[in-house]
Structure 1
Amino acid sequence: MYFQYGDTEINYLKCKDKKLAWAIEQIGHIERKLDANLFAAVVRHIVGQQISSKAQATVWARLEARLKDVTPLAVHHAASAQELQGLGMSLRKAEYIKDFADKIVSGDFDLQAVEQMSDAEAITALSSLKGIGKWTAEMILLFCLQRPDILSYDDLAIQRGLRMLYHHRKITRELFNKYQKRYSPYGSTAAIYLWAIAGGAIEGMKDYAPAKKR
């Protein structure tokens, strides 16, 4: 399952921004996988914090093998924080995951309600959980809930993509807000292309950030 976008989003962004239009033409359609299960998506993001994608995949595979199905009840009943730690994550992450599952099982946190909230409300609700910051909440909104207008200032690759596409040395908050407003209401589609640009999808593009002093 992939993030859904099409002619409506692409044509809008192309009309709004000539440089992005050029990049979209160069790159073509992008398929970005989704996390359809909201609970599993949150847990996966907690697991993946500050480790490589390969390490995240390894720990996640162990978690799935241990629980069979990564659900609040499975985590609540079948695994202690120490057991989760034994799968290759830090104890702190294990405690965050246990706390999250326990809150859902007890009714202290209504995860399904998040799906009906506005972007701002959902980010606030998810950020109230231990181990979930604003950036993680934004990624969950984009890659799990398919919200159409998520462009994260805290995402370093987004900033890199903006620098590369528009030849900026630095992306200030004010500058970011200008592009966010320009791309809205299809910021998520723009984000997918900026990530691709940052990852080297267009040969010859470079990052204009000043070189770090040694």
Structure 2
Amino acid sequence: MQSLENPTQRQSGPQFEYGAKELAFLAGKDKRMAEAIERIGMISRPLMPDLFTALVGTIIDQQISTKAGKTVNARLQAMAGAYTPARLEQLTAEQIQACGMSMRKALYIKGVASAAMSGELDLPAIHGYSDQQVIDALCKLPGIGIWTAEMLMIFSLGRPDILSWGDLAIRRGMMNLYRHKTLTRERFERYRRRYSPYGSTASLYLWACSTAPLSASPEPPLLT
């Protein structure tokens, strides 16, 4: 998944769903989050509802630029015709690698396709899993870690309460918003509990805050 680039630009296709209820809850719980919501406005983030396509795209996008990811995805889609387990399992790792990725990524994609074909990865069932069950199921796959699983839960499954400690931009946004120079896991978890059950919506605004410089205001943090 790529980082937030233009939080206010409306994009076509399915979007992560949130609205007045979620914003009112967050604003009522947190003064600085309320100020961020007022300043930034609504944020549009596209969803990729097909979990298998999202998994493959996420593997491709790891540690490369957005432009490079789009190029590799386009090449693989042109070769496969579509991202389906059957079509990708039929390709060799060498054919996948030739689209512009490392052999390790090609093997990860083959592994995901094989798991989906064998039933080891039960894609339809995942939609009914709890958040932790989704993480457990996806992290069994080669090339998928907790952060990736959390991003897939937001941008493929549309889960409402995901706030990722492993996302550096979210932590940076939290530090900017609350004027913290450091952020411990304990403090992060206190914010997570404050935002729950709408952590995913809070994540959108923390991503947007991640590019802002730390405030020079002498006002102390709201949560210490």
TM range (shorter): over 0.9
Q: Choose the corresponding residue for 2:162, options 136, 150, 155.
A: 150
Q: Which amino acid aligns with 1:16?
A: K
Q: Which amino acid aligns with 1:206?
A: L
Question: What SS class does the counterpart of residue 116 from structure 1 fall into?
Answer: coil
Deviation at 1:104, TM superposition (A): 1.2
Residues 113-157 of structure 1: per-residue CA shift (max 9 Å, x gap): 111100011011101100000000000000000000000000000
Q: Choose the corresponding residue for 2:127, options 95, 115, 123.
A: 115
Instruction: Name the structure 2 match of 1:22.
Output: 35
1:179 and 2:187 aligned: no
Instruction: Name the structure 2 match of 1:136.
Output: 148
Q: Once structures 1 and 2 are overlaid, which stretch shifts more, 20-29 or 51-60? A: 51-60
Q: Which amino acid aligns with 2:98?
A: G
Instruction: Name the structure 1 match of 2:4.
Output: none
Q: Distance in 2 between matches of 1:128 and 1:71?
A: 19
1:104 and 2:104 aligned: no
1:44 and 2:44 aligned: no
8 A contact 1:41–1:140 mirrored in 2: yes
8 A contact 1:160–1:207 mirrored in 2: no
1:157-172 matches, within 5 Å, as 157-172=169-184
Instruction: Name the structure 2 match of 1:85.
Output: 97
Residues 163-203 of structure 1: per-residue CA shift (max 9 Å, x gap): 10000011110010000000000000000010011134xxx
1:69 and 2:77 aligned: no
Runs of 4+ aligned structure 1 residues displaced above 2 Å come to: 205-208
Q: Distance in 2 between matches of 1:57 and 1:37?
A: 17
Long gaps (5+) in structure 2: 1-13, 217-224
Deviation at 1:207, TM superposition (A): 7.3
CA RMSD of aligned residues (A): 1.2
Compare the two structures and name the one with the higher helix fraction. Answer: 1
Q: Which amino acid aligns with 1:154?
A: G
8 A contact 1:2–1:32 mirrored in 2: yes
Q: TM-score, normalised by structure 2?
A: 0.88
Aligned-residue identity in percent: 50
Q: TM-score, normalised by structure 1?
A: 0.92
8 A contact 1:159–1:171 mirrored in 2: yes
